[in-house]
Amino acid sequence: MKVSDSDLVGVHRAMVLSRTLEERLRALYRQGKLSGGCYTGIGNEAVAVCTAWSLGADDVVLPLHRDLGAHLVRGHTVKDVMLQYFGRRSSHTGGRDSGLHMGLLGSNIVGHISHLGHMMPVAAGVALAERMKGRNAVALTYIGDGGTSTGDFHEALNFAAVQKLPVVFVVENNQWAYGTPNDKEFACEDLAQRAVGYGMAGVSVDGTDAEAVLAASRKAVDAGRAGNGPTLLVTSTMRMTGHAEHDDAKYVPKEQLEAWRKKDPVTLVEKALQDRGVLDAAAIAVVHADAVREVEEAVEWASAQQPARPEDATLRVFAAPVPSPARASTATRGEVTYVEAIRRALQDAMKEDDRVFVLGQDIGLLGGAFRATQGLLEEFGDRRVIDAPISESAIVGASIGAAVRGLRPVAEMQFADFVTCGFSQLVQNAGTFHYRVGTPIPMVLRMPSGGGVGGGPFHSRSPEAWFAHSPGLKVVCPSTAADAYGLLRASIDDPDPVMFLEPKVLYRRVKGLLPDPSFRVALGSANVVHVGADVTVVTWGGMVPVAIEAAEALREADAGQVEVIDLRSIVPLDRETVLASVRKTGRLLVLHDAHRNAGFGAEVAALVADEAFMDLDAPIRRLASFDAPTPAETSLEAFVRPDVARTVAALRSLLSF
């Protein structure tokens, strides 16, 4: 595939501008004038520029931290970059992030995060979304040679290949992963060989040759657009500086640097232009002078812009920081189990909104491990009910990518315990997106959680505290069939990532009337499920029935009136309902299925101690599972978890004060 003269002129200008800007950034970093670190791609310009140049207007690029050229080609200006590096208030991240972690909402540039490999499943999700929207667009993302050892790299390649997604995965083989050479990173002769194992195309190209990179990139992009699936494009290049400006790179042998310096991609493309008779030395000098002028003007302009404001540091954590609106309904559609309410919520949401789709392990043909998605495949087809490989990080990452492009994915973990395999994608990626660049991530992650069913140590987690500690994630845990329906519908409507915990013990033991499709339970709204005046129990999920039974036992014994509050939503937390109840009763027991140590109950206790201490007539008590893995044998599990008898005893103790 021959590269035209006009294309070569264009990529040359972009490569020179990228090189000039990065040299200026290095100087500014050494002067202490930049916000954050400085990671340059000097020596990688042909890869970043030419791969991005191969894309069409509707295609999406997900650059890595060295791919300045891709940003410049795809529409970010030198001024945009300088605002970001100076940490100015008007930059894409407003000082919340640094370097090339930038990508403006609504653009076809999706900014990356520091965790290597994490954007690869996101790229697959972007491509999935574009295909679902009927757009013949391609996603292109980058990874370094070191990053090809991450699990996300392999999970993304497999997911994209299975789904035949139009993704180009570009490997920038810089010869060194920070201070580790290639022969300590992988044993294969060529990283492109890895593509064969995933059933996808693998191509190797000289990353210093702009013409070769552009031709190979266009072929890969065209293959994706034609429906031939993903391509792994491996480019051999060399970063001519350290991992970052704080790294002197003394570990790189001088002879290796010298050999690669002779293959400088900017020099090579200029030689090609001169050999073709397209540009002479004088014209090339003008390109360099223009780049210097543009960079210096941007530096002067950006340095004069308003700095970030300290008071903005806590803004933009959520796209919708206030509780979502509730929609009441008196209409019902008969009695259903808790798990059937979940299924019906998914079904109704998918009927009403084409942007909603579900994905996860065994959710299609099998209908889910607990049959929460049974029948959806037959009704909506395999483009909206996606059976994914056993790749939790790919499932979560693809959900993020689809959400970035405006869809509303609902992903399922077979058990909440398994979310640990996709944990980093949630807390580092999904939870930070809106804060960093203002991009909403309207995704839901459903997780069968908690004990009570003999699941043992690896199927009984109640992980709400993990996510409550991670800014940017919302966390809900319904206890009734109606709330399961209403909260799931509200979560799907929500513009933020919602961790939706479903206590397995309730799936078929709890029944209730199925609300009308318009019904919503507001995130951040607790519910007083048992009214009393003597002591408050704050609980959620699988412990709500336990608390109600204990309250009834005390009422029947005329031993005290217990008020039970079902939080329903952990984040956001309905602080006012909790505080109002404690101020009325003067006593508080926090009850939850999760382990006691650092459980979310401690946060509720701290809230009351901080804001209602003078209203207390007794110490705050917590009742939770013992700090041990949940055993599988029935009697052992029953011993570890709170039950009605222990709850009654704890309440009697509080009432004795």
* Cα(3)–Cα(180) distance, integer angstroms: 35
Convert the pLDDT of each residue in 553-594 to its tens digit. 999 999 999 999 999 999 999 999 999 999 999 999 999 999
Catalytic residue among 459, 530, 592, 595: 459
Taking residue 643's Cβ as centre, other Cβ atoms within 10 Å add up to 15
Mean pLDDT computed over 295-320: 95
Write down the residue that tokens 């959520």 correspond to: 318
**pLDDT-based confidence at residue 262 (cuts at 50, 70, 90):** very high
Mean pLDDT computed over 95-109: 88
Q: Which CATH number fits domain 527-655: 1.10.3720.10, 3.90.650.10, 3.40.50.920, 3.30.1600.10?
A: 3.40.50.920
* Cα(141)–Cα(215) distance, integer angstroms: 17
Task: Check whether 489 has a pLDDT greater than 80.
Answer: yes
Name the token pair of 615: 């209203």
Alpha helices in 494-599 (DSSP H): 544-556, 575-585
**pLDDT-based confidence at residue 202 (cuts at 50, 70, 90):** very high
Question: pLDDT higher for 111 or 644?
Answer: 644
DSSP 24-91: HHHHHHHTT-SSS-----TT-HHHHHHHHHT--TT-EEE--TT-HHHHHHTT--HHHHHHHHHTBTTS
Convert the pLDDT of each residue in 368-394 to its tens digit. 999 999 999 999 999 999 999 999 999
Predicted pLDDT at 332: 80
Q: How far is CA 49 from the centre of its chain?
A: 27
For domain 5-74+106-268, the CATH class is alpha beta
Half-sphere exposure of 101 (CA within 13 A, CB side): 26
Mean pLDDT computed over 103-117: 88
Task: Check whether 322 has a pLDDT greater than 80.
Answer: no
Mean pLDDT score across all residues of the chain: 95
* Cα(217)–Cα(255) distance, integer angstroms: 30
Mean pLDDT computed over 265-289: 97
* Cα(187)–Cα(157) distance, integer angstroms: 19
**pLDDT-based confidence at residue 106 (cuts at 50, 70, 90):** confident
Domain boundaries along the sequence of the chain: 5-74+106-268, 332-515, 527-655
459 a catalytic residue? yes
Same fold for the pair 5-74+106-268 and 332-515: yes
Half-sphere exposure of 333 (CA within 13 A, CB side): 17
For domain 332-515, the CATH class is alpha beta
